[in-house]
Amino acid sequence: MRGFFISFEGGEGAGKTTLIEEMARQLSKEGHHVLKTREPGGTKLGEHIRAILLQHTEPVSAYAELSLFLASRAQHIMEVIGPALEAGKIVLCDRFNDSSVAYQGAARGLGMEQVSAFCKFISQGVEPQLTLYLDLDPRIGLARAAKERKQDRIEAETIMFHEKIREAYLEIHRAERHRFHLIDANLPPAKVFEEAMKLVHQHV
Ligand code: T5A
């Protein structure tokens, strides 16, 4: 693949969307072809799945939840991410496999290794070359997100659930330092952007 794949990870309200917007603007100014996208979503099918996942009001089996996130991802890779990488674009993706490992593997208790294996199967070798993880106390992130909109099904989980997600991300960071870089999301947005661009310029 000729392009470069960057994923953005973090708990709720960590600042991924804000960072992706700024980064896309900057990379475009530098002459790169950039594609911004998100998970779940990014395709028509994926956006339908997103609505089910975030707004469904009945209890959802953890296995059903994982399967839906993976279904959205498989479609996303076939329709959007794969072709963009083949066309030489820089893909900025709000969440990817690490979200499934942290949320469904760790917080829902399906097992980080098992979920990681499923993700590898579904993503058919399409993996981020660089991941920027915005690390933040979940209480702060949830408060930021709450200012923006009504809580969705996953945001409404207990604080313990959100703490498990942060612990899982930190575990991935310890295991995969070459790819999975931590940025302190408590810094002001301009500083987060500066740190992120430093990492991107080292890799792209
Ligand atoms: N999920 C997803 C899974 O469980 N498994 C999976 O496999 C996948 C792919 C997605 C949900 O699905 C789950 C995870 C999620 O629960 P979502 O709406 O996309 O749902 O959720 P988030 O990705 O968390 O999106 P948010 O919009 O809530 O958070 P962002 O994008 O991280 O934050 P952002 O940029 O919108 O910022 C939130 C607020 O904070 C301010 C912004 O201005 C904004 O008001 N802000 C800052 N404030 C202070 N300092 C900074 N540095 C700031 N940066 C931004």
Per residue in 80-94, pLDDT (tens digit) is 999 999 999 999 999
**189 preceded by a cis bond (ω within 30 of 0):** no
The residues, any chain, with a CB within 8 Å of residue 125's CB and separated by 6 or more, are none
Q: Does the beta carbon of 132 lie inside 6 Å of ligand 1? A: no
Q: Is the pTM of this model over 0.75?
A: yes
Q: Does the beta carbon of 67 lie inside 6 Å of ligand 1? A: no
Q: CA torsion angle for 158, 48, 122, 142 (degrees, to 10)? A: -20
Alpha-carbon torsion (61, 49, 132, 118), positive or negative: positive
Give CA–CA dist 41/36, Å, rounded.
12
What phi and psi values does residue 154 have, to the nearest 5 degrees?
-80, -40
Give CA–CA dist 28/30, Å, rounded.
5
* pLDDT 10s digits, 10-52: 999 999 999 999 999 999 999 999 999 999 999 999 999 999 9
Q: Does the beta carbon of 133 lie inside 6 Å of ligand 1? A: no
Q: Does the beta carbon of 189 lie inside 6 Å of ligand 1? A: yes
Closest Cα to residue 158, out of 20, 54, 12, 10? 12
Q: What was the pLDDT predicted at 196?
A: 98
Residue whose CA is at the smallest distance from ligand 1 atom 27: 13
